[in-house]
Each structure stands twice: as C-alpha cells, then as structure tokens.
Structure 1
Amino acid sequence: MTDRRYWIGFNLVRGIGPAKVRALLDHFGDLGAAWGASHAELQAAGLDRRALESLEAARTRIDLDAALASVERAGAQALCWDDAAYPRRLREIANPPPMLYVRGDLRDADDWAVAMVGTRRATSYGREVARELAATLAAAGVTVVSGLARGIDAAAHVAALEAGGRTIAVLGSGVDKVYPPEHEALAERVIAGGALISDYPLGTPPESANFPPRNRIISGLALGVIIVEAGEESGALITADFAAEQGREVFAVPGNIINRNSRGPNRLIQQGAKLVLSADDVLEELNLKMV
C-alpha cells in the first residue's frame, strides 16, 4: 500500500521534481526507502549535490505525520501516480506530477475533458463565447477544465456549473490558497461540482512563477484546449504550447483583428489550430458526441 507521507515529503523538497522522483522510485522501489536512504545511496540513485543537500535538510525539519494531517485538515486528498483515482490523461504526459492535492472529487467521467483558457481581461464577446462553449460542452457530459483566473477561466467554470456539468480548476498555488481571493465562493462551487487541483504543497502562495508550470496540468487533463481570447503574451498561449507538446488538440476562437485579445487565437489559427465557431466543432473533432 502506498504510504502517502513519503510522497508528500518529497513534494515538500525543493529541487526534486517528477524526473528525480521517477529515478528514485526506479532505484529504490518505493519512496519510503528513498526517504531513509544514506547520502551515498542517494548519490548512486542519481541525485545531484543541490538535490541531495535540499533533501537532507528537509528530512531534519519535516514531520511526515504532521504533513499528512495538515492535508486531511484542509479537506484535501493527496493522490500519487499509482492511485487509481489519479487522472488517466495526466498520467500519459511526459513527467506527470508525482502527486496532486485535490479538494472535491475526480471521477472516471473526467477522462472526457476539454480545457478552456484565455485572458483575465476578457471582453464581453469573450465572456459570452466562453459561457456558450462551456455550457454546451458541460451539457454534453464533457468536464470543463480551467484555471480559476479572472475573465475567461471564471466564465467557463460558472457556465459549466450552471449547465449542471462538472468542472476542474487547476491552481498555481496550494489548494488552500485560492487565487484570486474574490473567487473563494466560486472555488467552493467548483469543489461541490468537480475539483480544485494543484501539485503545489499546501500553503504555497500564488507566485507568478507558479502559473506557467501549472498550465501543463490544465492541458494534460484534457483531450483538447480551447483558447478563447488571449493577447500575444498571454499565459493561455503557454497552455496551447503544452497542449501541442502533449499531443492534445488545440482549438481557437477567431476574433476582431484589431482587438489585442484576438491576436493570440487568430495567430494560433494561422499556425494550424482548429477554428471554433461552436461547441459542436470541438465535440465532433474529439469524437465526444456520444459522451
């Protein structure tokens, strides 16, 4: 049986990411053995000096039982790679996060998911399109994945819930640190009708550096990603890049060529993204008509 304490412990160690966790598992067989290994044994497993120093310092300060208890007090689950509930689509990507913190619940039906992202400074057109697409997808039984941000993300989550569907929000902070703060009530609705997910430890603040890596989880959970509105420097385009790398379909909603928010999607379409005029375009492309 998986001892989640050690997975949480390694999640709290700076400098030990998915590739190193995989190497430790391959070498030791389980993370409990890796946690208790000697300096020489960890070196033999391939840890570099910085990772070794970080791990050895962490082992002296981290109380594994207390760390697990804090997850439970937060009303969260800690899901590991080998858990049956770990999202199947996400497990398929290169170097998936070893562990996810989840508030709410994940279901097998969430394998049939589509992500929708875009600018925080959405126009009325962008919000209306996001709502229409998300509501139709949710009504068709598709889980809508986004990032709980202002603008397009929030519109997608709300519309999916109002259509009676499921939605998943992936955070760039701990699942106990909802961002932006004004979306606390929305986060509770998402928990009731889906899940909040993060691979960042509890208590992690929403620092700007956290969001680009978070985007690979958004795309990894989904069969495809829809970009509704995004400027040329928008983080939504990072999600599109991850989707392409992961073999996911990239969709984009066309917009006014003189509106900055349309430059990202229009450029993606020019580069080969699937043009979206309705949710049916997405459902048909992904063979989700019968979900």
Structure 2
Amino acid sequence: MSAPDLRDWLRLCLIPGIGPERQRALLASFGLPERIFSAGQFSIAQVIGQKLARLLLTHDNAAQVDAALAWASEPGNLILTLADPAYPRALLETADPPSLLYAKGNAALLETPALAMVGARSATPQGEANAMAFAESFAAAGLTVVSGLALGIDAAAHRGALKASGGTIAVVGTGADRIYPARNAALAREIAQRGLVLSEFPLGTPPAAHNFPRRNRLISGLSRGVLVVEAALDSGSLTTARLAAEQGREVFAIPGSIHSPTARGCHHLIKQGAKLVESAQDVLEELHWASPAAAGSPAALPASAEAGAADDAQRVVLDAMGFDPVDPDHLARRTGLTADALFAILTMLELEGCLARLAGGRFQRITVPSSG
C-alpha cells in the first residue's frame, strides 16, 4: 500500500471515538478512507451522526500518523489494512476484524495454518511443561502456534514453538511497540525476530484490562482451534474458548487434577462440549492434520529425568507423589521415609527435572505428555 493511502487509513483509525464498528460502516458506505474524507460532513453524518462527522473532518492526529508511518518504515514492521491483500483471511471470516493490524516480524505467518494455545498466568510447573511439549509437537507438525505473550501457559507455548524452530504469533493487548509483561521482554524480542508480534491497538497503547478480551478474539480468530491447557473458572482463557466457539473454531481442553483450581476451567469446558485432549496427536487428528515428525519427539520425558528416576528409592517417592501437588508431611506418611531421607531424595529429583518445588513448600511431579 502506498504511503498516501496508508496515511488516510491511519488518519481514520486514529480518531478517538470512531471505533472499528463505525469505521467499517463508513468504509461500507463510501469505500476507501480517501473517499470518506472527501464525502462531506452532511453525507458522513448520515452514517455516524453529526458530532462524530465534525470530529472526523476536524481532528488533527497528524503527529500520531507520522509516528506510525515512521514505525512502519523500519525493517520488520508492517501495518496491514482491511484492503491489504496480505490481511489474514482467517480474520476476515470473523464478525469484528480490526481495520488495522500492526505487525512486527514475519507477517507471512498470518497466512499459515495456526492453532491457539492459552491458559493460566499462574500456571503449575506441569501445566507449563504440557504447554511447551504440545506446542513443540504442533510446530513440528507445521502448525503456527498463536498465543498472547502472557506469563505462564502463553509464554510456555511460544517457547515450545520456538524450540521446534516453528512459527509462533504473539497477539498482544498493547501497542506493538510496547512489551507487556516486562518479564517476557526477551521472549518478545525473540518472537519478533523468529515469529510475529501482532496488535490491533495504536502504537504506544499501554496495557489496560479492557484491551485483553479484544485481543483474545484475534487469538482465536487467527486459528483453526483453541487448546486451553490450564484455566481457572474466571480465567480469560474461557473467554477465548467462548469466542472460538462463536467463530466456528474447534475448542480443546487438557484435563487436570480435581484438586487444582487451574484445572476447573478446563473441566468446565469439557462439560460444555470441548474436546478432551491427552496428547498432541488428539488435536492433530481432530483437525485432520498430519502427525508430527516421529524423530526425536519433543513430547517424550527427558532422558536425564528417566535415568534419575531409575533408583528404587526415587521411584518409590515419585509413585507416592502421584500427579497432584503434595506437601512433605503427607509424602513422608505415604512412603514411611524419615524427613531427612525424604528431603535428600526430593532434592535429587528436583535437580534431575522430575519434580518442581511449589509455593508453600509443596512439590509436584513433572512429566511431559506423549504426543502419540
């Protein structure tokens, strides 16, 4: 798109009070933004009212438009409009496609088959391990992994896709020039280099609670389906799942412990008809997608962990732990071990990657799900 055309799009979309719905109404009535601005106040007022018509023709956002054009001129940056041939077709199928998309990285990923992965920010170690392993398998199978760059499951999904040298898209609830949360700054930079950071929000937009539900509809809209890895009952991940269902996308959920708050959202989705998933292959088969490469399956338990668990005493402790978080007192009663002996074994298992130490002094066994 030429700079003058993009300038008109930016001028339209950066007017406060004229949101996506009114933008689409104007585009439907007059065509491209250039024609909107030349239509005259009376004609525009028939579509969006007199007050907004006056605002549209008098509001001065030239500095903001210039800043966006300068950003788009930098290597790796791109602003897509609804009229752009490169605008993702998957979003055009949804009820509320953004008029503009700010993309940083490999925009060609927007045309690749994708699967969304979302879940709890306060994820369990097992949940993060699951997210990484599933994402690695999906990326190895040729699917682009879409998520929201949040802490916990989102970050683990992005890392899993990158580990497999696959594509990943981070849809953010801020401007594409902002990084949120700050703890994911290094991950965001890596995604911008090897994947794509995407936003519908103007440059400089800070994080705000009402931005993230809008962000979630893009995560689901870009994808063939949404896999919820862990989620509480009040999680935004359930919003993403609902939006996916409304958009005609598949919804998948991984079950968890009945005692875990981060499993209750997944169990709720399964009760509502989401497909229960135990392996990456379950999702790939449901999507009628080719199996991941068999060689070096990323969803296998690390060899070092298997070797460390071979010792009889360690195996006894792992078997006694089950797969729910457990405190040492309960574990000592289950195994009959003294506190000193138990902590020595727990320390070795933690070092070998077989378990994780949780808040409150509890431990949880970590396994990576099979992709088969």
Normalised by the length of structure 2, the TM-score is: 0.74
**What is residue 232 of structure 1 aligned with on the other side?**
233
- The residue correspondences of 1:134-173 to structure 2 (distance < 5 A) are 134-173=135-174
Give the partner amino acid of 1:31: P
For residues 35-83 of structure 1, what are the alpha-carbon distances to aligned partners after superposition, in whole Å with 9 as ceiling and x for unaligned? 3443212112x1035533543453x243444542243348521101122
* Counterpart-to-counterpart distance in 2, 1:172 and 1:254: 28
Q: Specify every segment of 5 or more residues in structure 1 that has no aligned partner in the other structure, as ranges.
A: none
Q: What is the root-mean-square deviation in Å for CA atoms of aligned residues?
A: 1.9
* Counterpart-to-counterpart distance in 1, 2:50 and 2:279: 52
Give the partner amino acid of 1:15: G
SS of 1:95's partner is coil
**What is residue 28 of structure 1 aligned with on the other side?**
30
Structure 1 residues 177 and 50, CA, compared in 2 at 3 Å: closer, same or farther?
farther
Instruction: Give the CA deviation at 1:21.
Output: 1.9
- In the alignment, does 2:96 pair up with 1:95? yes
Structure 1 residues 239 and 57, CA, compared in 2 at 3 Å: closer, same or farther?
farther
Instruction: Give the CA deviation at 1:22.
Output: 2.0
* Counterpart-to-counterpart distance in 1, 2:142 and 2:85: 21
The answer to whether the 8 A contact 2:168-2:196 is kept is yes
List structure 1 runs of 4+ shifted beyond 6 angstroms: none
**What is residue 123 of structure 2 aligned with on the other side?**
122
- In the alignment, does 2:132 pair up with 1:105? no
**What is residue 62 of structure 2 aligned with on the other side?**
62
- In the alignment, does 2:206 pair up with 1:208? no
Instruction: Give the CA deviation at 1:14.
Output: 2.3
Instruction: Give the CA deviation at 1:111.
Output: 3.0
For residues 16-48 of structure 1, what are the alpha-carbon distances to aligned partners after superposition, in whole Å with 9 as ceiling and x for unaligned? 23332222122222101213443212112x103
Give the partner amino acid of 2:29: H
What percent of counterpart residues are identical?
A: 49
**What is residue 15 of structure 1 aligned with on the other side?**
17
**What is residue 349 of structure 2 aligned with on the other side?**
none
The answer to whether the 8 A contact 2:120-2:152 is kept is yes
**What is residue 354 of structure 2 aligned with on the other side?**
none
Q: Which has the higher contact order (CA 8 A, sep 6+)?
A: 1
Q: Specify every segment of 5 or more residues in structure 2 that has no aligned partner in the other structure, as ranges.
A: 293-372
SS of 1:102's partner is strand
| Structure label with greater radius of gyration | 2
Give the partner amino acid of 1:203: G
Structure 1 residues 120 and 53, CA, compared in 2 at 3 Å: closer, same or farther?
farther
**86-95 or 104-113: bigger deviation:** 104-113
* Counterpart-to-counterpart distance in 2, 1:124 and 1:57: 54
* Counterpart-to-counterpart distance in 2, 1:203 and 1:50: 27
**What is residue 243 of structure 1 aligned with on the other side?**
244
SS of 2:101's partner is strand
SS of 1:179's partner is coil
SS of 1:229's partner is coil
* Counterpart-to-counterpart distance in 2, 1:192 and 1:130: 21
Structure 1 residues 66 and 167, CA, compared in 2 at 3 Å: closer, same or farther?
closer
Structure 1 residues 171 and 50, CA, compared in 2 at 3 Å: closer, same or farther?
farther
* Counterpart-to-counterpart distance in 2, 1:51 and 1:238: 31
| Number of residue pairs aligned between Structure 1 and Structure 2 | 289
* Counterpart-to-counterpart distance in 1, 2:109 and 2:191: 17
